[in-house]
DNA sequence: TCAAAAGTGTTTGTGGTACACCCATGG
DNA sequence: CCATGGGTGTACCACAAACACTTTTGA
């Protein structure tokens, strides 16, 4: 039957903050089709692994970061299913559908991609380099989802090291959203939300030392949307 | 290779408001596995059709309703990709992943399911009957998404006939959300949102005649979420 | 003592929520 | 004239947004 021909892959859009910029981990294609263009890391789903396992495996293969689970059920680093892309013709070699995931990895934990086994490199999301298949569309979709989630949940912390200053957190939000935020309002809101707590440590450097904070794992990190109807 | 064994299906969770109740269209399984239990309508993705086309085909086969596209890019009736389920073992016959969609169909347009070719029936979402495979989980996930979308977008209109009274609209929202809403606040908010307009017609019946409204297709039917950070 | 970054409050406006009565029609 | 459902306004409170100066340190 015709449906048996379909190949199933998992692709993972991996974001990190590097050099004060939102970057995505891409691999350069060595063979046709699209030789020399950039692609999202991915691979075939094996017969005995779940989609989530396949996505976690891809993430580990490219970054060296293993996926763990917290008591809350959330994963570290953050990974979630994004969308499934399956247009006929999206791969010239045959019918391939891909379940796309997106992942957020904390900057300092990132194993330097491209150093040895992997040929992956971090690339800024804008401008995005020329990409293979429909992968530009997938990255754009992931970016849209990231910005959206940033507004009503606390995923932003997943891109920061375990302890961070409020200024670093604000810079992270400004980098991803592409807009500047008011310092006083930002600090008031995030402290009110009770999603972070002081560590008691300070970070020194240029200027006045800054309090270091950590994310509270037990925090209820969702905000109610303003409902269209009461 | 092991990845060639994977079969790909599309399942569609079809919601409608019937008998003042939120109902879902299910088919009774005639053969093992799970013979006699209820399942979401679905089928294999054909080699030459997109996932959206496959979902639209399933919807049409079960309800007789064709999927069209508006100038805005939105579809009528409403259909969107929900999630992809692919755990090994979710189908005892082999590795099958399913891309689940959910659809909202307007009550009066519904072709009576179960009347001829189809063996589908409308079932209330609560209590949900005993279901085959992981389909109970899929319906629960679709319901969660529907409730969530209802709060910040205008998908609710997709479940109503082309013209409707404000009371009918409010009943629809109350049915889906499972809570009662204040009439004055509901009316003020929905009129302020400018997503509906008067038709000039009235519906008569018991009690005072009610103004009939229609949905404004050009309406911006999304509400900004209250952002966690300013 | 200067540069650089951290930290801190108040005011004003908008929108959410709670709440009770009169109106128009058909029987 | 009465039962049934349709339709209307206001007062209070909480939160979002705009806005500028002082503090602490290292060089």
| Within this chain, domains A7-137 and A152-215 share the same CATH topology | no
- Counting residues of chain A whose pLDDT is more than 70, the rounded percentage is 87
Helices within chain B (DSSP H only)? 51-63, 135-152, 166-177, 183-192
Q: Are B57 and B49 in contact (CB under 8 A)?
A: yes
Indicate if the pLDDT at residue A138 is higher than 50: yes
The gap from C-alpha B139 to its chain's centroid, in whole angstroms, comes to 10
Kind of pairing between the strands at B7-18 and B96-104: parallel
What pLDDT does B153 receive? 77
Nearest to B84 among A81, A185, A230 (CB): A81
- Please give the interface size between A and B, counted as residue pairs whose CB atoms are below 8 Å apart: 145
What pLDDT does A112 receive? 59
Task: Looking at the structure, give the CATH architecture of the domain made up of residues B152-215.
Answer: Orthogonal Bundle (1.10)
**Quick count: other Cβ atoms within 10 Å of Cβ B227?**
14
A226 to B223: CB separation less than 8 angstroms, yes or no? yes
Which positions in chain B touch A228 (Cβ < 8 Å)? 150-154, 189-190, 193, 223
Contacts of B74 (CB under 8 A, 6+ apart): none
- Bases along strand C below 7 A from a protein CB: 3-10, 15-20, 23-26
Domain covering B7-137, topology? Nucleoside Triphosphate Pyrophosphohydrolase (3.90.79)
Residues 47-66 in A contacting B (C-alpha not used; CB under 8 Å) = 47-51
What pLDDT does B225 receive? 44
Residue B124 CA to residue B41 CA, distance in Å, equals 15
Q: Smallest Cα–Cα separation from A48: which of B3, B10, B44, B91?
A: B3
Residue A30 CA to residue A107 CA, distance in Å, equals 27
Closest-approach nucleotide to residue A210, Cα vs C1' = C6
B3 to A4: CB separation less than 8 angstroms, yes or no? no
What pLDDT does B112 receive? 59
What pLDDT does B221 receive? 47
- SS3 category, B137: helix
Indicate if the pLDDT at residue B223 is higher than 60: no
- Counting residues of chain B whose pLDDT is more than 90, the rounded percentage is 63
Q: Are A195 and A175 in contact (CB under 8 A)?
A: no
What would you measure as the largest C-alpha separation in chain B, in angstroms? Answer: 69
Residue A28 CA to residue A47 CA, distance in Å, equals 27
Q: What's the pLDDT tens digit per position in A139-192? A: 999 999 998 888 777 788 889 999 999 999 999 999 998 889 999 999 998 888
What is the average pLDDT score of chain B? 87
- Counting residues of chain B whose pLDDT is more than 70, the rounded percentage is 87
pLDDT tier at A225, thresholds 50, 70, 90: very low
Residue ranges of domains in chain B: 7-137, 152-215
Residue A98 CA to residue A151 CA, distance in Å, equals 27
Indicate if the pLDDT at residue A223 is higher than 60: no
What pLDDT does A69 receive? 78
- Could you identify the residue written with the tokens 């375990």? A162
Q: Flag the least confident range among A47-56, B1-10, B132-141, B142-151.
A: B1-10
Distance from the B29 Cα atom to the nearest Cα atom in chain A, whole angstroms: 21
Cis peptide leading into residue A127 (ω within 30°): yes
- SS3 category, A164: strand
Q: What's the pLDDT tens digit per position in B34-84? A: 999 999 999 999 999 999 999 999 999 988 888 877 766 777 789 999 999
User: Which bin fits B123, alpha (ψ -120 to 50), beta or left (φ > 0)?
Assistant: beta
């Amino acid at each position: 039957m015709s449906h048996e021909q379909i190949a199933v892959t998992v692709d993972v859009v991996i974001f990190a903050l590097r050099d004060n910029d939102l970057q995505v981990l891409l691999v350069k294609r060595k063979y046709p089709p699209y030789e020399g263009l950039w692609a999202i890391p991915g691979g075939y789903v094996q017969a005995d692994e779940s989609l989530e396992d396949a996505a976690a495996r891809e993430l580990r293969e490219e970054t060296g970061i293993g996926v763990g689970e917290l008591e809350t059920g959330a994963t570290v680093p953050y990974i979630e299913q994004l969308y499934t892309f399956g247009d006929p013709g999206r791969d010239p070699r045959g019918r391939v559908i891909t379940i796309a995931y997106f992942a957020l990895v904390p900057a300092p934990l990132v194993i330097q991609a491209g150093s040895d086994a992997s040929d992956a490199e971090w690339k800024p999301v804008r401008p995005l380099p020329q990409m293979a298949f429909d992968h530009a569309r997938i990255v754009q979709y992931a970016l849209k989802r990231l910005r959206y989630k940033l507004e009503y949940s606390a995923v932003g912390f997943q891109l920061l090291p375990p302890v961070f200053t409020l200024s670093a957190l604000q810079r992270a939000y400004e980098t991803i959203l592409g807009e500047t935020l008011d310092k006083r309002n930002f600090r008031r809101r995030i402290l009110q939300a009770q999603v972070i707590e002081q560590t008691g440590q300070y970070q020194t450097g240029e200027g006045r030392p800054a309090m270091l904070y950590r994310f509270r794992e037990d925090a209820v990190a969702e905000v109610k949307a303003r409902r269209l109807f009461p």
